[in-house]
Amino acid sequence: MNSSDAPDAEGFRARVREFLAAELPAGWRGVGTLDAAAADAFAERWRATLFEHGLLAPSWPAEYGGAGLTPLEQVVLAEEFARVGVPTGVQNDVFSIVMIGNTLLHWGTEEQKRHFLPRILSGEDRWCQGYSEPGAGSDLAGLSARAEIDGDEWVINGQKIWTSGGQLANWIFVLVRTDQDAPAHRGISLLLVPMDQPGVEVRPIRNMAGDSDFNEVFFTDARCPRENVVGEVDGGWKVAMTLLGYERGEAAAILPIMFRIELDRLLELARENGAAEDPVLRDKLADAYIGVEVMRFMGKTSLARFLQGHPPGPDAAVSKLYWSEYHQKVTELALDVLDVESLVVQGRRPTNVTMFQTDDVGAPNDSASWITTAMVSRSGTIYAGTSEIQKTIIGEKLLGLPK
| Residues identified as active-site | 247
69-98 b/e with 16+ CB inside 10 Å = b?
Answer: bbebbbbbbbbbbbbbbbbbbbbbbbbbbb
Distance from C-alpha of 174 to C-alpha of 181, rounded to nearest angstrom: 19
How far from 320 is each of 196, 242, 293, 300, 403, CA to CA, in Å? 34, 17, 15, 15, 21
- CA-angle at 393, arms to 165 and 129, nearest 5°: 15
Contact 21, 354 (CB under 8 A): no
350-386 b/e with 16+ CB inside 10 Å = b?
Answer: bbbbbbbbbbbbbbebbbbbbbbbbbbbbbbbbebbb
What is the SS3 assignment for 230?
strand
